[in-house]
Amino acid sequence: MNVESWRRYLLYILLFGAVGLLAELYLLDHDEEFRQWIPLVLLAGGAMAGSWLAARPGVAAVRTFRVLAAAWIPAGLLGVYFHFQSNVEFELELHPDSGGLELFLESLGGAMPSLAPGAMISLGLLGILVCRQHPAAR
């Protein structure tokens, strides 16, 4: 199998993951405040740009998809921070005297899935890999 076949399969896997993650966030009502819209907008835009790249590869499609996929990485990092911070606040309300490692571990496993936004980081890295030395970008 050649590199371009692998690139296409990776793009399909990425699109499957992005649409699945977008659907999950939608079903979880992840739209109650402005910062919750960040992953929804970026995933929808990236899924559309990825579909464009799959259907009609060209310089504009590669560049657009690359920018959106790269934006998923800081958005995922922000999501990890926001989820973790929400869990810390919740844990401190329940147990005001907790701190240190105990608070850290409890916050990782709190009501908000602290590491779930890491899926967006992984998809963003995969998107950058798909665009690396893409023949349509030349």
pLDDT at 137 over 90: no
Q: What is the pTM assigned to this prediction? A: 0.92
Q: Indicate the DSSP class of residue 13.
A: H
pLDDT at 109 over 90: no
pLDDT at 138 over 90: no
Q: Give the model's pLDDT for residue 52.
A: 98
Contact indicator for 77, 56 with CB cutoff of 8 Å? no
Residue 14 buriedness (CB in 10 A; 0-12 / 13-18 / 19+): buried
Q: Give the model's pLDDT for residue 135.
A: 93
Q: Domains in the chain: how many in total?
A: 1
Range of the domain at 97: 3-137
In the numeric block, the tokens 């590491």 are attached to 115
Q: Percent of the chain, pLDDT > 70?
A: 100
Q: Give the model's pLDDT for residue 36.
A: 96
Tokens read off for 81: 């921070």
